């Protein structure tokens, strides 16, 4: 971010057309707001915990470590040392578990950060090529070292004019600021390009899981159940898979068309539907969430 404001923004203001300047400023700042907002919410929002006192909430088992009832999709986190509602995983980036109430923030943070890295990689490619070429030129110019005192043989063969015993090279055609400018661009491009590949793969994997209506932990459980049912000649069906579109609507909290803008494209602190304890969103009709 420091490179973007200190190096790239002044460069864009001096070299780009007004239309491109407006585009980069608007999109760049929207992307930054989305990254910061969702990261903050993912770290500060509780993932959700099952009740520790006796109640009428249905449960599927009792945690052997917490010694409390575990509702469906609840799992124990060994790092947090407590049960998490619809636990996906414990994220070291967030220093927090990713569970029912902050899973959307985590995923949106990954999406926003991936988009930011891809944006920097694509828009900065030409700058990277120019910066790399400039550093190569600087490198070759540095090979021309200052001359040293010439011997008598040097005077004889005409290397130096008569009476001159050394040769002084001219000042380098670049400054320290020029070198740091080009190095900053190369550093930014390499970092964002590699991060976009690694983070993009992680984001795509979580998108696949969301489309299937399962978490990272449930993926392993469902795979095991599928194999066991296949041995019996039966087909396993994930009871929490409501269809790809419905899975996304529930995950993003989309209840009407305007929510695709106000709750997806813009920062939103709305809570997910339900309480994370029961999962009967579509008990009768398959598609009950309006577009």
**Residues tagged active-site:** 91
- CA triple 219-65-51, angle to 5 deg: 80
**Nearest-CA neighbor of 267 among 103, 45, 43, 109?**
109
Can you read off the two tokens belonging to residue 131? 């910066």
Q: Rounded to whole angstroms, how far apart are CA atoms 171 and 146?
A: 10
Which residues on neighbouring strands pair with residue 83, listed in sequence order? 76
- CA triple 14-189-93, angle to 5 deg: 120
* One-character DSSP codes across 195-263: HHHHHHHHHHHHHHHHHHT--HHHHHHHHHHHHHHHHTT-----TT---HHHHHHHHHT--STTHIIII
Q: Rounded to whole angstroms, how far apart are CA atoms 215 and 87?
A: 7
The owner of tokens 């923030």 is: 105
List % helix, strand, coil for the chain (3-state, nearest 5).
Answer: 55, 5, 40
């Amino acid at each position: 971010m420091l490179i973007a404001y200190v190096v790239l923004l002044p460069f864009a203001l001096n070299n780009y057309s007004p239309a491109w300047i407006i585009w980069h400023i608007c999109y760049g700042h929207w992307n930054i707001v989305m990254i910061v907002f969702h990261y903050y919410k993912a770290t500060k929002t509780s993932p959700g915990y099952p009740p520790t006192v006796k109640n009428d909430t249905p449960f599927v088992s009792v945690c052997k470590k917490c010694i409390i009832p575990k509702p469906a999709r609840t799992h124990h986190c060994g790092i947090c040392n407590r049960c998490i509602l619809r636990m996906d995983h414990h994220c070291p980036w967030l220093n927090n578990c990713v569970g029912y109430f902050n899973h959307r923030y985590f995923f949106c943070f990954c999406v926003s950060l991936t988009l930011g890295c891809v944006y920097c990689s694509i828009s900065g490619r030409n700058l990277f090529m120019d910066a790399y070429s400039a550093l190569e030129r600087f490198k070759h110019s540095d090979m021309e070292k200052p001359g040293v005192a010439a011997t008598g043989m040097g005077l004889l063969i005409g290397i130096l004019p008569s009476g001159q015993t050394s040769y002084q090279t001219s000042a380098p055609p670049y400054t320290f600021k020029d070198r740091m400018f080009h190095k900053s661009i190369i550093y930014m491009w390499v970092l964002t390009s590699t991060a976009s590949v690694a983070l993009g793969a992680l984001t795509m994997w979580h998108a696949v899981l969301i489309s299937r209506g399962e978490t990272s932990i449930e993926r392993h459980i469902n795979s095991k159940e599928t194999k066991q049912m296949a041995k019996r000649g039966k087909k396993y069906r994930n009871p929490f898979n409501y269809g790809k579109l419905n899975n996304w609507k529930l995950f993003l909290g989309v209840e009407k068309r305007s929510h695709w803008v106000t709750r997806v494209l813009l920062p939103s602190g709305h809570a997910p539907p339900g309480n994370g304890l029961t999962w009967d969103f579509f008990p009768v009709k398959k598609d009950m969430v309006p577009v």
